[in-house]
Amino acid sequence: MSQSKTTIVTGANTGLGFETAKGLAKAGHKVYLACRSEDKARAAVAKIRRAHKDADLNFLKMDLLDRPGIKAAAEQFSAENERLDILVNNAGVMGPPHTITQNGLELQLDANHMGHFYLTFLLLDRLDQKDETRVVNISSLAGKRPDADIYFDNINFENGAYESGREFMGLKGMAAYSQSKFANLLFTLELKDRLEAAGKNIKSIAAHPGASNTDLKRNMKKHLQILAPIIGRFMNISKPEQGAESFMMAALDPNVRAGEFYGPTDNGEYNGPAGLVPLPENARDKALAKRFWEFSEDHLGIKFRI
Ligand SMILES: NC(=O)c1ccc[n+]([C@@H]2O[C@H](COP(=O)([O-])OP(=O)(O)OC[C@H]3O[C@@H](n4cnc5c(N)ncnc54)[C@H](OP(=O)(O)O)[C@@H]3O)[C@@H](O)[C@H]2O)c1
């Protein structure tokens, strides 16, 4: 086994985050499960311990919509650890009813991007080490769709834009979901450029799971939630442990390169062995990435030192 690393996985109580936390624990690493529900996190810890009894598992209370809470969690982590080797920005939500959060942002953009942008900012000192560390941002095939973009003129999908856009199995707000998952890619690439320019040994990497049978469908109508895995059998939908393989590759594979995108490589990236997958062309738009980075900094009232 390689030397034990200290890692954080957001949204680690279920789905792909759980499988990633379990995989990192199996590899002998210290894992912080950063979750909004302590009960769910403790249940996940117990489940991982049943398979890996000596696993070094820890809990960080974190709701990605709660900025002071994110700060408190980062401070707790920093008080307990000199270094962070791998940050997996995994937690996510898809297709909730249109909601503007207490932070004034559309819910998916806030949880899926802005909370993670802030968390990464707060942990950068701990990631900044002589030897290599990593930030892994979890995106989606939704971030590669033709409508995946940052809609600066209506970033919150107001005035009916949320409901009138693309739907998926009855879920509205799918263009807004794509915006948030495209945001994960823009963040990954701009972070990579800034880290390299600052001479930091932190790799910024993106990954996606293809299509995986998790609780992400929780906002669908109940009968569609039941039907989804059945339909999924005919649509190349993977088990969560398979979907998480590209996350594990991005987190641990020594050959992984900064600024690359990893995902399943069969059936239009829906499933199959993990490997390098193409980024959408517009994610390489440096002017867009810079503008969105500055938008995120201004929104949070922060300034990265890179
Ligand atoms: N499943 C797929 O096919 C698929 C495809 C493409 C991309 N992805 C991406 O993969 C990632 C993981 O999704 P999943 O499929 O594993 O979904 P999941 O089973 O629903 O898990 C999502 C996790 O995110 C957490 N979360 C949601 N909102 C949060 C918030 N405000 N603060 C803190 N934690 C929050 C959830 O916590 P609670 O349990 O407390 O709600 C849960 O732990 C997401 O970024 C998703 O966009 C998934």
pLDDT tens digits, 161-172: 999 988 888 889
pLDDT surpasses 50 at 302 = yes
pLDDT tens digits, 202-240: 999 999 999 999 988 887 877 877 777 777 666 788 999
pLDDT of residue 266: 94
For tokens 């009813």, the residue is 97
Report percent pLDDT > 90 for the chain.
89
Task: In whole angstroms, give the CA distance from residue 248 to residue 7.
Answer: 12
Task: In whole angstroms, give the CA distance from residue 117 to residue 137.
Answer: 10
pLDDT tens digits, 228-273: 777 766 678 899 999 999 999 999 999 999 999 999 999 999 999 9
pLDDT of residue 2: 54
Average pLDDT, the chain: 95
pLDDT tens digits, 45-57: 999 999 999 999 9
Quick check: 136 and 247 in contact, CB under 8 A? Answer: yes
Atom of ligand 1 lying closest to residue 94 CA? 47
pLDDT surpasses 70 at 1 = no
Task: Choose among 44, 48, 47: nearest CA to 60.
Answer: 44
Indicate the class that CATH gives domain 6-300: alpha beta
Catalytic residue among 32, 118, 162, 177: 177
Residues with CB under 6 A from ligand 1: 11, 13-17, 35-37, 40, 62-65, 90-94, 111-112, 138, 140, 208-209, 211-212, 214-216, 218
pLDDT of residue 167: 86
Which residues, 6+ apart, have CB-to-CB distance to 206 below 8 Å? 136, 137, 138, 139, 184, 185, 188, 250, 260, 261, 262, 279
Both ends of the chain: CA-CA distance in Å? 33
Q: Which of 31, 35, 174, 216 to mutate to test the pocket of ligand 1 (most atoms within 8 A of CB)?
A: 216
pLDDT tens digits, 46-98: 999 999 999 999 999 999 999 999 999 999 999 999 999 999 999 999 999 99
Reply yes or no on whether 118 is catalytic.
no
Quick check: 6 and 30 in contact, CB under 8 A? Answer: yes
Which residues, 6+ apart, have CB-to-CB distance to 306 below 8 Å? 124, 194, 195, 197, 198, 200
The protein residue whose alpha carbon is closest to atom 46 in ligand 1 is 92
pLDDT of residue 215: 84
Task: Choose among 262, 12, 32: nearest CA to 137.
Answer: 262
Domain boundaries, the chain: 6-300
pLDDT of residue 129: 98
Task: In whole angstroms, give the CA distance from residue 230 to residue 224.
Answer: 10
